Amino acid sequence: MTSTSKQLIVGLFLFALALPAYANEESTDDKSNLERRRFEQLKNKDSEEKRPKDAQACLRLEQGAESIKKRLEGKRTEWQERKIHRREELIARKGNGREKLDTFRGKADDNREELIAKLLEKYPESDDQAAIKVFQAQIEAAVAKRRAAIDTALTAYLQGVQEILGSRQDKMASALATMKASIDAAVTQAKADCASGVDKQTVFQTLQASIKAAKEKFAAERKTFESSSSELEELKNTRQAAIKAAIETFKTESTAARDTLKATLGEPESPEDSNE
């Protein structure tokens, strides 16, 4: 056997020994690639399964947000209707009160005229009747003065009430608008966060916290401008003081007129009306 033949045989033998190792390397690479492909498939499958769940969560969030906005709008509508009702009620109360006052004053005028007529009939002397006419003029002037003062006090009171209620209503409308804007902004942000893949629990918690903060701010503001009862009480006290002063002035003037008439006639029946 030649030297060349020996070398060829040795080379073939070594190649045969190397084949199993090379085959084993190829098998290991294939197995690694297969595992990687399986991992990618599982990852994609998990992502596909998660996507519908995320979409459902965002849909639920949007539906809940719309429900909150509808309830808020319902509250605003209810408040607007209550505002109109209160205004109409105040106007009606003012009208009814004025009507009753005018009716009462009309009866008082009739009573005074009747008493003056009795005095004129009882004292036919010209000097007595002249004194009665003077007395009548003094009483009518005192009544007109008293009524003007009372009307001024009532008008000032009603105007003050309307201003306070109007200011309260304006503040309420502003506070409601601010709360609505805050909630709308929170809802818009929540939708954007949900769509961009932010953790849904975080989105919900952030939205709830924002809505709670907006409501608490509105409640705090509402307390400040609804605590106007002291202002209303002050208006009421001012009105009552003005009416009392008008009545006291009338009593003083009517008493003076009556005393003067008494000096002429004796003890006539006083044609004073009630303190209206």
Task: Say what the pTM is.
Answer: 0.63
pLDDT tens string 41-72? 444 444 444 445 566 777 777 777 777 777 77
In a domain, residue 165? The reply is yes
In a domain, residue 60? The reply is no
C-alpha span between 98 and 104 (Å, rounded)? 10
In a domain, residue 48? The reply is no
Report whether 153 contacts 246 (CB < 8 A): yes
Residue 1 has what pLDDT? 53
Structural domain count, the chain: 1
In a domain, residue 6? The reply is no
In a domain, residue 191? The reply is yes
Percentage of the chain exceeding pLDDT 90: 28
CATH code of the domain in which 104 resides: 1.20.1270
Domain range spanning residue 252? 66-265
pLDDT value at 272 more than 60: no
In a domain, residue 226? The reply is yes
pLDDT value at 207 more than 50: yes
Q: How far is CA 162 from CA 89, 113, 185, 243, in A?
A: 12, 37, 34, 20
* b/e per residue 22-50 (b: at least 16 CB within 10 A): eeeeeeeeeeeeeeeeeeeeeeeeeeeee
Residue 61 has what pLDDT? 76
**Low-confidence winner among 13-17, 95-99, 118-122, 172-176 (lowest mean pLDDT):** 13-17
Residue 175 makes CB contacts below 8 A (sequence gap 6+) with: 218, 221, 222, 225
Residue 36 has what pLDDT? 52
DSSP 204-235: HHHHHHHHHHHHHHHHHHHHHHH--HHHHHHH
- For the chain, the average pLDDT equals 77
C-alpha span between 147 and 215 (Å, rounded)? 49
pLDDT tens string 9-29? 444 444 444 445 444 444 445
Q: How far is CA 170 from the centre of its chain?
A: 9
Residue 163 has what pLDDT? 87
Residue 108 has what pLDDT? 92
Report whether 205 contacts 248 (CB < 8 A): no
96 three-class SS: helix
Structure tokens at 168: 């309260």
In a domain, residue 85? The reply is yes
In a domain, residue 190? The reply is yes
Task: Tell me what the mean pLDDT of segment 74-100 comes to.
Answer: 72
